[in-house]
Amino acid sequence: MSIEYNLKNTVVIGGGIVGICCALYLQKKGFKVTVVDPSEAGESTAKWSCGQMAVSEIIPLSKKGILMKIPGWLLDQQGPLALRPSAFPSIIPWFLHFLNCARESRINEIARSLASLTQHVYDDYAVLLNDCPDKDLIGTRPILELFDSADDIEHEKKYLELRQSFGFKHQILNEKEISDLEPVFTGKFKHGLLFKDWTAVKDTQGFIAALTESFIAKGGERIRAKVVTLREENNRLSQVLLSNHQIIDLDYAVVAAGVGSQLFSKQLGIDPPLAGIAGYQVVLPKPEVDIKHSTIYASGGFCFAPMSRGLQIGGTIEFAAAGAKPNMKRAEIILDKAKKVLPQLNTEGMEFGVGYRPFLPDTKPIIDMSSRLPNVALAFGHGQLGLTLAATTGRLVTEMLSQQPPQIDLTPFKANRF
């Protein structure tokens, strides 16, 4: 433990996967850490994800293939992307930034920046998982991606080559190879990819809960409440006031509250175009199908994710106005599509869920220090890479707060880059 930091009270705002990884790395450095979050451990956006360590998912959402599909998706409310009319006015600035990221030079630049983070994922998680009693929280099987036609893979060729240029591996699969890996898909798919350097967690909810238990076992505190007020003194953040009327004095803070981080933007001196994009999922506790690998059905726009609590199926996303109620019909759409692939799915006891992914238009997170309150670190906007990048973000935040030279150039992740 670092003696230098063992009296530094640090509050992490947000107890999801990014927040708890920041807390664990700070704790290892010797900071005294309190995590504040209104939900139970594990009940966060990352719970409602496919649970993949998507280390080569470095191509931004603005890639040209996606841009060409968006108009059709928006007109088809059954498609993998939907836009509620009420969201349209507020989302225009976000889309303008998004379109600015569609140039080939920007795509290559973003991919390079994200690769600088994802290349460290497994090493950074190993530091944290070593302290967890369950040594099998992350699986070892690679990830499958399935397509309806060879043309679908051909359209991805340029981006696969870009991923490969950063050292990430893939293998093109034929019908027999798909069937050998996943017999349940025999006769259904002839074209696929195997991402050998991806894997998936055993259970998204359990993964976050296990890391939280490790944090608490080593003396960390987690408070179920909302941060309602940031109090300043001498141009620094000095206290947080919680919804339970508790006041916490602090030396440092980390804002890692996903979409909720935007509530503090003005006081932090930033104005990022952060959108909370709803991702819908359904969990089948007794699916009565045996899927061994987390499997993306790219042409269908969703993923089969086997977990210890059941088979999670999800991937459809929706732009909605801030505060809009979830539209669980989106989860029903996913389930209907999944049953067309696997009609034998047992839906008894199914559970629907939604997570609001904090997306920035360039698909990169913010990992930075507040320019206005210099004792506050910013760690949000990870989009669909929250689970993948959480441990690396935690290490980098700890380096920033302990004033160590960062091992990665953080310029591409500055809060003011927009």
Amino acid sitting at position 37: D
Identify the DSSP state of 201: B
Q: At what angle do helices 386-401 and 17-29 cross, to 10 degrees?
A: 30
**Comma-separated ranges of CATH 3.30.9.10 domains in the chain:** 58-104+134-199+274-359
- Give mean pLDDT, residues 88-112: 90
List the Cα angle 273/274/275 in 5-degree steps.
Answer: 120
The average confidence (pLDDT) of the chain is 92
DSSP string, 43-83: -SGGGGS--EE-TT--S-TT-HHHHHHHHHHHH-TTSSEEE
Q: Which fold has domain 58-104+134-199+274-359?
A: D-Amino Acid Oxidase; Chain A, domain 2 (3.30.9)
Query: CA 42 to CA 128: how far, in whole Å?
Result: 16
pLDDT at 398 over 90: yes
- Give mean pLDDT, residues 246-268: 96
Write out pLDDT tens, residues 190-247: 999 999 999 999 999 999 999 999 999 999 999 999 999 999 999 999 999 999 999 9
The Cα-based distances of 68 to 99, 102, 148, 155, 270 in angstroms read 12, 11, 18, 12, 32
pLDDT at 4 over 80: no
Residue 8's pLDDT band (cuts 50, 70, 90) = confident
**Comma-separated ranges of CATH 3.50.50.60 domains in the chain:** 3-46+206-272+363-413
- Give mean pLDDT, residues 125-145: 96
The Cα-based distances of 262 to 27, 253, 379 in angstroms read 25, 15, 11
The architecture CATH gives domain 3-46+206-272+363-413: 3-Layer(bba) Sandwich (3.50)
Residue 1's pLDDT band (cuts 50, 70, 90) = very low
Query: CA 198 to CA 27: how far, in whole Å?
Result: 28
